[in-house]
Amino acid sequence: MTIEGRDLSIGYPDRLVGSGLNVRLAEGEVLALLGPNGGGKTTLLKTLLGLLVPRRGEVRVMDKPLHELPIAERARMIGYVPQVHHGTFAFTVESVVLMGRTAHGSLFAAPSADDREISMAMLDRFGIASLAQRAYTEISGGERQLVLLARALAQEPRFIVLDEPTASLDFGNQGKVMNEIRGLAEAGLGVLFTTHDPNHAMRAATRVYLLRDGTRLAEGKVTDVLTVENLEALYRANVQTLRDERSGGVAFLPG
Ligand SMILES: Nc1ncnc2c1ncn2[C@@H]1O[C@H](COP(=O)(O)OP(=O)(O)OP(=O)(O)O)[C@@H](O)[C@H]1O
């Protein structure tokens, strides 16, 4: 099963952001999308999710046009973790996660015991079960990011799309989320995430897609594409590497 964007032109009513984009995400793989600020990553994600209409080309899920899939089926198929937001209404954290379960029942039905159990298990998975009865508007940015992750997983989708999932997280939680992403792919989900840290792509992704000015700069296996040359071209900045003598692993440093 795949999500596929074919020959996509992406953008907003008054602005073309990118064109000629072909993206494919299969179950069981992790695709990392990297690129400079304003390069089009979020616009591409939203187009693949059907939140923005492509100006050209099409998005297909399971080889059917995305727009032909009923909304409820889309919700069961694809989970989305947007860039962290503040929230307007003071829902409890548990209620926010339970919203992920509406993909599996009626929007207006009361949550079942199963829904509550799954939601609490997801909060526990990210070490934030103690926040369940707190107001979503009164927790930290990093905590909100973990709640949104828990909500997307409570949805039990086949694909999960994450926009900068580690942006507000502390060092420990960044590692936890990277491990979680790998675990999800091992469990058979297809995962697409954006990041500003090539090291996170190195840790968690099977493939990477480099996007600059709405154009694909390179795409392929992590070890082939994450090179100093490609990263310097992507960010128009100097990049250095640190090599660990024992493991042979490489880390990238900006500047
Ligand atoms: N709602 C909008 N209407 C018009 N233009 C927009 C809108 N949102 C973003 N843009 C523009 O589209 C371009 C791509 O933005 P996008 O958010 O996709 O970039 P990004 O790669 O996700 O950036 P960042 O890394 O800073 O989050 C930018 O030039 C941005 O100013």
- Structure confidence by residue, pLDDT tens digits, 100-118: 888 777 656 778 888 999 9
The pLDDT score that the predictor gives to residue 107 is 58
For the question of an ipTM over 0.95, the answer is yes
Give yes or no for residue 44 having a pLDDT over 80. Answer: yes
Prediction pTM value: 0.93
- 3-state class (DSSP) for residue 66: helix
Closest CA to 123 of 163, 165, 92, 85: 92
Mean pLDDT for 205-223 is 97
Domains of the chain in start order, with CATH, are: 2-254 (3.40.50.300)
Find out whether 139 and 91 touch, Cβ atoms under 8 Å. no
In ligand 1, which atom is closest to the CA atom of 196? 25
Ligand 1: distance of its center to the CA of 42 in Å? 7
Give the phi and the psi of residue 126 in degrees, each rounded to 5. Answer: -100, 15
Ligand 1: distance of its center to the CA of 44 in Å? 10
The pLDDT score that the predictor gives to residue 103 is 78
| Tokens at 213, concatenated | 């000015």
Ligand 1: distance of its center to the CA of 20 in Å? 17
pLDDT-based confidence at residue 240 (cuts at 50, 70, 90): very high
Tally the residues of the chain.
Answer: 255
Closest CA to 21 of 46, 4, 1, 38: 4
Continuous segment of H or E residues that includes residue 194: strand 190-195
Mean pLDDT for 171-200 is 94
Find out whether 107 and 83 touch, Cβ atoms under 8 Å. no
Ligand 1: distance of its center to the CA of 189 in Å? 27
Residue 214 in contact with ligand 1 by CB distance below 6 A = no
The pLDDT score that the predictor gives to residue 30 is 98
In ligand 1, which atom is closest to the CA atom of 164? 27
Residue 41 in contact with ligand 1 by CB distance below 6 A = yes
pLDDT-based confidence at residue 183 (cuts at 50, 70, 90): very high
